[in-house]
Amino acid sequence: MIRNTWLLGVITLAVVSHALPCHGQYPYPLVPPRALPPLMYVKFAGPAGMSVTLYKGGGVGQTFQAPCTVGLRPGYVYRVQLSNIPGYPGMSLFPTLDVRGSLQFANRLRNSDFPAALVFRELDMEAVRNGSLVTRLVVLERPEAAVPLASSRDEPLEIDVPPQNDAFTEASLRGKTLMIVQLGQRQYSPRELAEQAIPGTLLMPGERVLPMPRIPPLVDFNCWPIYDPVAGAADPNEDMKLWDGGDIGLRAGFGPDGRLRGLDPSDTVAEYTNSRGEKRVAVSNRVGLCVPRFVVVRKEMQASSQLAQYGPGRATAIQGRDTMHMRLPPVEHSHSQTTDSMHARQRLSGAISLHGTAIVGKLQGILIYTAAHETASVQGACPPPSREQPDKPLKIIKWPDKTGGLVGDVITFSLRFSNGGGQPITDIVVSDSLTSRYEYVPGSARCDRAANFTTQPNDAGSTTLRWEFPGALQPGETGLINFQVRIR
């Protein structure tokens, strides 16, 4: 009995030893390729002569002169070193980059052609020297929330947030946050920077291939679009599409005074008069360009006070405990509100009256009348079909010369209007109201027909272009308009 128990214990120990996990035999599994979002490209820029040192993990860092562009995997945290800053000898900064997303292109555009510029200015150096923490949020701006201000690919629009406001709330109003950058007085050694870097997450300048990362993402990222079970997957380019043309918002039409109403920013419409003297409105097609724009939301926080304690390395002190009693009476708060004003007007909106027929009858004798008519013949002829061609609406088509662009690029738009009906069209006026992201290039408007061209500001902080064509547009005739805009 004792021998059998010992043998059972040996067998149990052997089974448990084989069931326990064995560490150190296999490396951490690679992240599946389908779970990796596209790289987020960042362009480091600053004063002339500034150096940027990057670490790929497990080795010595590589130093590049600013400006330089690198590719970062979303879901990871990166630390870089800024040194050789002009005007700040011996000063090194170590910004932390928390990448939360990247651009999602559904066409053949490449992420490397749309880097986010991260510019470090003298204002940041002074803030760090004074003990402040500088936080920057790189935001992919939504086109409908675009600020009507010009920017460039190397100088993005930067919005300063007051200390009492939240930077993340301000960023959510502008668009989608792709990267969080924090800059303070924290110093790192080269060994710490090398140990914290993760291989397979950083594409150095000049490299074309990036190996798979050894560990999965460390932070959440928002790269994948929301999938609706009924409508399907959302368009990944929706936050980067800049729509123009068509008629959105209030429908374009004529007011009581006969003037055009409802011309909203990005609308392209034409008004005309047909052969019967009726005024009509024609609407162009709607086109979308892939034009991403990055906006930087910046906030600077400074400590109001600092406490430091200094003393010997080994010291022990015992003090008697003091007891303090305090009684606080309740504090009463009162607040009164009064009605500022009240105004109401009611009146009879309508009245319904029902009238019926009162039947009053009187029966008298019934008389019967009869008549006879002779048969007669009628001669006539059917008129021939009319050869007059009917009126047809005016057609207007709009298209750009590019499918996308960067901030600062120039886009050429073309407008073609045609009369496909059989009657002449007169009093043609073509109006194009530009969005806040487009800036009209003065002197670029061209037309193959005689026209009176004027411009005026619109509600979006851009320009409304207007062409008035005298005379008539005969059946089958067309007109072509070209103009250029600069992407803000």
Inter-CA distances, 106 with 176, 238, 332, Å: 18, 10, 61
Assess whether 286 and 189 both reside in one domain. no
Of 173, 192, 223, the position where a domain reaches its end is: 223
Domain membership flag for residue 355: no
Kindly report the CATH number assigned to the domain that includes residue 253. Answer: 2.60.40
Q: How far apart are CA 418 and CA 475, in angstroms?
A: 8
Assess whether 115 and 246 both reside in one domain. no
Assess whether 245 and 199 both reside in one domain. no
Assess whether 102 and 249 both reside in one domain. no
Assess whether 122 and 249 both reside in one domain. no
Residue 308: exposed, middle, or buried by beta-carbon count in 10 A (0-12, 13-18, 19+)?
Answer: exposed
Residue 248: exposed, middle, or buried by beta-carbon count in 10 A (0-12, 13-18, 19+)?
Answer: middle
pLDDT at 3: 44
Domain membership flag for residue 54: yes
Calculate mean pLDDT across residues 31-52. 82
Q: What is the pLDDT of the chain when averaged over all its residues? A: 80
* pLDDT tens-digit map of 186-208: 899 999 999 889 999 999 998 88
Inter-CA distances, 65 with 121, 125, 382, Å: 15, 18, 90
By percentage, how much of the chain surpasses pLDDT 70? Answer: 72
Length of the chain equals: 488
pLDDT at 219: 75
Domain membership flag for residue 337: no
Amino acid, res. 382? C
User: Taking the model in full, what pTM does it have?
Assistant: 0.70
Please state the domain count of the chain.
2
Assess whether 193 and 248 both reside in one domain. no
Assess whether 278 and 209 both reside in one domain. no
CA 112 remoteness from chain centre: 19
By percentage, how much of the chain surpasses pLDDT 90? Answer: 47
Domain hosting 256: range is 241-291+391-487
Domain membership flag for residue 404: yes
Does the pLDDT of residue 292 top 80, yes or no? yes
Assess whether 275 and 423 both reside in one domain. yes
Assess whether 205 and 256 both reside in one domain. no
pLDDT at 405: 83
Domain membership flag for residue 176: no
* Contact call for residues 155 and 67 (beta carbons, < 8 A): no
Domain membership flag for residue 91: yes
* pLDDT tens-digit map of 461-488: 999 999 999 999 999 999 999 999 999 8
pLDDT at 448: 94
CA atoms within 13 A on the CB side of 391: 15
Assess whether 213 and 264 both reside in one domain. no
pLDDT at 386: 61
| pLDDT greater at residue 21 or residue 125 | 125
Assess whether 124 and 209 both reside in one domain. yes
Domain membership flag for residue 354: no
Domain membership flag for residue 113: yes
Assess whether 126 and 245 both reside in one domain. no
